[in-house]
Amino acid sequence: MPERVAVLGAGVGGLAAASRLAKDGYQVDVYEKLPACGGRNNLICEAGFKFDTGPSFVMMPDFFEEIFSYCGQDIKDYLDLRVLEKSYKIVYADGRQFTVHRDSRLTLGEMEKIEPGSSARFEDFILETGRIYGLVRPLLYKCVTLKDLFNPAYLSLAGRIRAFDSYWKLARKYFKSRELCYAFTFEAMFMGVSPYRAPAFYSVITYADHAQKIFHSMGGMYRIPLALEKLASRFGANFHYGCEVEKIEKENGKFTLSCGNERFKADYLVVNADYPYTQTDLLDRRIPDFEYSCSTYLVYLGLKRKLEGLEHHNLFFSGDLDKNLDQIFKKKTVPEDPSFYVHLPTVTDPSLAPEGKEIVYLLIPVPNLKNPQHRFKDHESRIRKQVFDKINKSCGCDLAKLVEVERRFYPEDFTGRYNIKFGATFGLAHNLLQSAFFRPANKDPKLRNLYYVGASTQPGGGLPVVIAGSRIVAEMIKRGG
């Protein structure tokens, strides 16, 4: 009889782990609080609009291809990933714009408008980030612990991947203008940390942006968890939705999961729930004083007509980015002049809205709920107006008058819906002392056969990296430790 694996959580990490383990012959059962798969990578459907609620872009497509290849499947039978001709547009506070293109020659021309002479240094910057990427990529398939710090190979690697430099410092080496430095480090915000605190090795994200390009999942980002659910089901995995696990216990070598009046047993347990929540609420443990990522205020708009002047992905930078970052990450106050992200998937994928209409997804980074200095909702109307005004100025429209459908998601909702500690959208912050050796390991140090996959564990957050984490876990289970 095959050994039983329980997967707690049907986010992308849990679905990927379930797919691998079911393919390997284990009896896999997935338990999920929500009525459908996806976790934060979810979907809202209303009046013909299909709003993706979480991740909005695909990077490092080879990580997605790897899991389907592992399971003997062709990813093209499950997902249609399309490269974008224009990766994203940055709008600065003074009205200047910088568009990153699939064709790097066009990007170089855009750079020259911001900082004359910068295009000559761009190649060296990409060579350096590519070098770091080559060193970091194999680590994304390994779980390392504090014991590994004493391995001479890792000690020398720390210097070579610039672990003790910041993301910002690396960009500053190549570009003089703060505008371009921000353009090449803003990705840190989508790991929930300031570029001044993120280690330079996270520049692998910038390398992927520019060398491997940005992709979109046709039919919407929700197609990704649906594809993984289908993959896992193909090999016999069972899904239990609307089943919130309230307690984890272990007795006589087996795990017992409590869900209401029901009890489920398993030989192995893979937890895809938020790591800090799991430790405190499900295992009744004390946890370190972790540093958490920022939270986000999300607004989903269904518009009556198309917008002009924006691309699929757009970033509007604050007039004082240093102050903006300081307020979010240090002072824990609602930003006075927010930076924000605008996602228009219907630019590439009109199928997500009724004909001639538009989807706008707004993401505004705000402080998490750990010791906040202000209540966000007291500032919501101001933030919403500032964001709308900047879009109106850029597009020459009155956004409020175009809205047909609107849904909002607050920091508190990340806690209530997804059990995310302190509403920290991106999980534990990706600073140096919460990366690699210092990030929670994929294997529990106390309970045998208990494993973790997800944004707050190794190797870190982001869809491709979480999928890599599922491989770490599956390989550990297969080799028995």
pLDDT of residue 1: 67
Segment 193-210 shows an average pLDDT of 94
Nearest to 305 by CA among 393, 399, 389, 221: 399
pLDDT of residue 425: 97
Confidence grade of residue 374 (pLDDT, cut at 50, 70, 90): confident
Confidence grade of residue 189 (pLDDT, cut at 50, 70, 90): confident
Residue 336: pLDDT over 70 = yes
Residue 116: pLDDT over 90 = yes
pLDDT of residue 304: 98
pLDDT of residue 257: 96
Residue 469: pLDDT over 70 = yes
Segment 434-455 shows an average pLDDT of 96
Residue 179: pLDDT over 90 = yes
Query: Within 10 Å of residue 445's Cβ, how many Cβ atoms?
Result: 8
Segment 64-68 shows an average pLDDT of 98
pLDDT of residue 153: 80
pLDDT of residue 481: 62
- The encoded tokens of residue 239 equal 């899904």
Percent of the chain with pLDDT over 70: 100
Confidence grade of residue 323 (pLDDT, cut at 50, 70, 90): very high
CA 107/CA 102 separation, integer angstroms:
8
Each residue of 414-443: pLDDT tens digit?
999 999 999 999 999 999 999 999 999 999
Residue 220: pLDDT over 70 = yes
Segment 379-388 shows an average pLDDT of 97
pLDDT of residue 373: 84
Given CATH 3.40.640.10, say whether it is the number of domain 4-82+219-288+426-479.
Answer: no
Confidence grade of residue 206 (pLDDT, cut at 50, 70, 90): very high
Q: What is the average pLDDT value for the chain, to the nearest integer? A: 95
Confidence grade of residue 94 (pLDDT, cut at 50, 70, 90): very high
Poorest-confidence range of 30-39, 98-107, 187-196, 423-432?
187-196
Residue 345: pLDDT over 80 = yes
pLDDT of residue 148: 85
CA 315/CA 185 separation, integer angstroms:
12
Percent of the chain with pLDDT over 90: 93
Confidence grade of residue 151 (pLDDT, cut at 50, 70, 90): confident
Show me where the domains of the chain are located.
4-82+219-288+426-479
CA 269/CA 267 separation, integer angstroms:
7
pLDDT of residue 375: 87
pLDDT of residue 156: 84
Segment 227-250 shows an average pLDDT of 97
Residue 296: pLDDT over 80 = yes
Write the CB contacts of 21 (distance below 8 Å, at least 6 apart in sequence): 5, 7, 28, 237, 270, 474, 477
Checking DSSP bridges between strand 295-303 and strand 238-241, what pairing results, if any?
Answer: unpaired
